[in-house]
Amino acid sequence: MSSAAASSPVPGGFGLRRALVRNRGALIAAAVLAILLFVVDWISAGPLTYFDVSFLSSGGATSALAAIGQTIVILSGGFDLSAGAVISLVNAVLASSMDPMAPGASILLWTTVGIGVGMAVGAFNGFFIAVLRMQPIVVTLSTMFILQGVTLLVMDKPGGFVSPDLGAFYLGDAIAGWLPMPLVVIGVVLLAWFWLKGTRFGTALYALGSDPESAASVGINVVLVRFAVYVIAGGCYGLAGVFISAQTGSGDPLVGNPLLLSMFAAVVVGGTRLGGGQGGPVGSVFGAYILMIVVNILLVLNVSAYYATIAEGTILVLAALAGSISHASVLAVQLRAARARLAAWRAGILPSQLERVDRRLKIAEPAHAQRSPASPRPAFHLRNAETLRYALPAYVCLLLIVLVTQIWLGRAILNPGYWNSLLVLSSFLAVLALGQGTVILTGGLDLSVPWTIGISGIILAGMVNGSDAALVYALPVVLVMACAIGFANGFGIVYLGISPIVMTLATNGILQGCALLYSQGTPAGFSSPMLRWVMTAKLAGLLTPIVLLMVVFVVAAVLLLGRTPFGRRVYGIGNGLRAARLSGIGVERTLILVYMLSAVCAAVVGVMLTGFSGQASLGMGDDYLLPSIAVVVVGGALITGGRGHYLGMLGGVLLLTALQMLLAGTTLPYATRAILYGLVVLGAVMALRERRLQ
């Protein structure tokens, strides 16, 4: 009986099916890669040779190594936005430390240095995320800006020297004519992963990504595992930095920035589920090479290189969509929501009315706690106690910064020009704070802000080209385009089930490619005289017109979030999505409007920047991503949503702008601004985070 059972094909077949299902993403990625290699062979002048394979293997190795680290983080349920900055830092450290006069370089030494730098950054991230239990997205975004500042301090412009020995080793052959070294390096890293996966740590990693609470309940040391995840991932980024240094032979403080989009796309294309618990680095390696080969195919077909980020962003969205609809629970939720909307449409009622909820009951407030009409209205400080608690620190710190500016630079308090400059420079972040702040209040994040700003300014300048008359139709065109961008973000997040981080990151990459295509790499046109006057003129020699407009904007923003049904719905969603649905809030419609508002605010900032500087430029919005989040957090908003007030955000805007003006009046280098922003955000999130019972 036992021998018959042992010889039965059922268990083996069942195990095989489970293995195929478990590794479905990696297998699909491998099949797609094989098809793309066939396409490359078909469109090439001749058959693929060993040289072609070696060239392709080195071209995608950096992204593949970085994607391995990113995959490990995502498997644990986290995100790491600092990966590209780590690669840039390692590249700058190596290029600035190697001696051109030295006869040779120690491959092991510099590889260890690169990996060590990456692991040190990973430990920094892991401490805040694992030990202090802060949000991975905020921590790694802050780390990204801190590292960009540190990298600029190490190397402020491209240059330096990387020993040719490093390139000869990593770009050469492990077996001459048979096996390229890049594939060997990736293979060694994957072997280390397979060994790690078979240990208790590997089991704990997948358990942590699937359900952190259940993992903790069965005795897994969640803090230690999460900390180790970021250290290991940092080592992978460090190795990727070593490899790209070997490729370039020099240093570039911005070399890793474009890799962030491609490594996320590689992870998603490789079948790793965002949110953790499913997938693996093998599929991510295939995904990295898929993206690289797609870009190469476009180049072979004489398609502009500007389409690269559009292709990567589109692939990221499609892969994330495929992953979301293939997940049974997500698909079931989407189908139930669609059936509910259809049933409501047939009945001629709202979908929320299908829920058996008594609208007359005030669930959030017990009947005995309700204030009777005859009760006196509480004092202002009692009604707004929570808002004052979290918003006042920003204004107190602002006062301190102004006093320091007065003492140090001798101009501030009694200088009207100082206050006018402070308000003008604050106007950009004040507008962004409304859009990004509203997104954060719902528990999301908008990473498409930089290139929404950029493409808006570029299109406006190109259409206006110095004409006030053209501004009449150019401005509505830009705002309508912004509404379309925001709608696309909201639709992908709400109806397609794509993570806000992934969706807005992909949109940012697509917008970057569109801006490059529209401008052909060199933005043309100028601001109209009227727009220039609004941003730079002086009324009575003292006040810039934009300051008066900002007073109106601030009043409108406060009323929008504090006195309208839209604002109440935003706070309701941020405090609990399910509770918001049960209370009758149109969650889908509200979220789409939130992302449209964020995009419109970013477009307005693009218009303002164009008027302020007189013309648009590529990357004009890059410096506004972290500040747009920083001012919201510093102003007392909770990064996970549901808590915050626009007046607090405005205090954060004024504080960071005053701090920026103070630094600009000193001899400190420009790179310190990015470092300071990152540290301020980390400090603010740590100080103002919710204290939860452990």
Report pLDDT digits (tens) over 654-683.
988 888 888 777 767 777 777 877 787 787
Q: What is the mean pLDDT of residues 327-355?
A: 48
The lowest-confidence range among 2-16, 178-192, 296-310, 535-549 is: 2-16
Write out the two tokens for 621: 């919005």
Write out the two tokens for 364: 């959030």
According to the model, what pLDDT value does residue 692 have?
Answer: 39
According to the model, what pLDDT value does residue 21 have?
Answer: 62
Phi and psi dihedrals of 143, rounded to 5?
A: -60, -35
Report pLDDT digits (tens) over 100-126.
766 666 888 899 999 999 999 999 999
Confidence of residue 89 (pLDDT cuts 50, 70, 90): very high
According to the model, what pLDDT value does residue 357 have?
Answer: 38
The lowest-confidence range among 206-215, 573-582, 613-622 is: 573-582
According to the model, what pLDDT value does residue 577 have?
Answer: 78
Residue 343 has pLDDT above 60, yes or no: no
Residue 12 has pLDDT above 60, yes or no: no
Query: Which residue type is seen at 467?
Result: S
According to the model, what pLDDT value does residue 39 have?
Answer: 85
Write out the two tokens for 344: 């409501």
Residue 278 has pLDDT above 90, yes or no: no
What DSSP line would sit under 343-412, residue for residue?
Answer: HHHHHTS-GGGGS---TT--TTS-GGGSPPTTSPPPPHHHHTHHHHHHHHHHHHHHHHHHHHHHHHHS-S
According to the model, what pLDDT value does residue 179 have?
Answer: 85
User: Which of these, 607, 612, 305, 257, lies nearest to 455 by C-alpha position?
Assistant: 607
DSSP 8-state class, residue 159: B
Query: Which residue type is seen at 394?
Result: A
Q: Count the neighbouring beta carbons within 10 Å of the beta carbon of residue 534.
A: 19
User: Which of these, 286, 316, 272, 279, lies nearest to 31 by C-alpha position?
Assistant: 286
Q: Which domains does the chain have, with CATH numbers?
A: 50-259+272-277 (no CATH), 385-688 (1.10.3470)
Residue 183 has pLDDT above 80, yes or no: yes
Residue 604 has pLDDT above 80, yes or no: yes
According to the model, what pLDDT value does residue 5 have?
Answer: 42
According to the model, what pLDDT value does residue 116 have?
Answer: 95
In percent, the amount of the chain with pLDDT more than 70 equals: 84
Confidence of residue 6 (pLDDT cuts 50, 70, 90): very low
Confidence of residue 346 (pLDDT cuts 50, 70, 90): very low
Residue 560 has pLDDT above 60, yes or no: yes
- Mean pLDDT score of the chain, rounded to an integer? 82
Q: With 0-12 CB in 10 A as exposed, 13-18 as middle and 19+ as buried, what is 308?
A: buried
d(CA 125, CA 131): 10
Confidence of residue 653 (pLDDT cuts 50, 70, 90): very high
Confidence of residue 240 (pLDDT cuts 50, 70, 90): very high
With beta carbons less than 8 A apart as the criterion, state whether 238 and 214 touch: no
DSSP 8-state class, residue 120: H
User: Which of these, 124, 128, 131, lies nearest to 85 by C-alpha position?
Assistant: 124
What is the radius of gyration, based on Cα positions, of the chain?
27
Q: What is the helix (H) or strand (E) element at residue 104, kind and residue range?
A: none
Residue 358 has pLDDT above 90, yes or no: no
Higher pLDDT, 643 or 103: 643
Question: First vs last Cα of the chain: how many Å apart?
Answer: 52
The lowest-confidence range among 101-110, 183-192, 262-271, 621-630 is: 101-110
DSSP 8-state class, residue 623: G
According to the model, what pLDDT value does residue 22 have?
Answer: 67
The lowest-confidence range among 8-17, 387-396, 478-487, 597-606 is: 8-17
Q: With 0-12 CB in 10 A as exposed, 13-18 as middle and 19+ as buried, what is 181?
A: buried
According to the model, what pLDDT value does residue 13 have?
Answer: 56
Report pLDDT digits (tens) over 298-328.
877 877 777 888 888 888 888 777 766 655 4
Confidence of residue 18 (pLDDT cuts 50, 70, 90): low
Those residues with Cβ within 8 angstroms of residue 379's Cβ, 6 or more apart along the chain or in another chain: none
Q: With 0-12 CB in 10 A as exposed, 13-18 as middle and 19+ as buried, what is 568?
A: middle
CB neighbour burial string for 196-233, b if at least 16 within 10 angstroms, e if fewer? ebeeebbebbbbbbbebeebbeeebebeebbbbbbbbb
According to the model, what pLDDT value does residue 232 have?
Answer: 95
Owner of token pair 């985070």: 689
Write out the two tokens for 6: 């042992």
Q: What is the helix (H) or strand (E) element at residue 179, kind and residue range?
A: strand 179-180
The lowest-confidence range among 41-55, 595-609, 647-661 is: 41-55
In percent, the amount of the chain with pLDDT more than 90 equals: 31
Q: State the angle between helix axes of 50-59 and 61-75 in degrees (0 to 180), rounded to the nearest 10.
A: 50
Q: Diameter of the chain by CA atoms? A: 101
DSSP 8-state class, residue 157: S
Write out the two tokens for 644: 């915050």
d(CA 416, CA 414): 6
User: Which of these, 643, 420, 405, 411, lies nearest to 543 by C-alpha position?
Assistant: 420
Owner of token pair 């935003």: 570
According to the model, what pLDDT value does residue 333 have?
Answer: 52
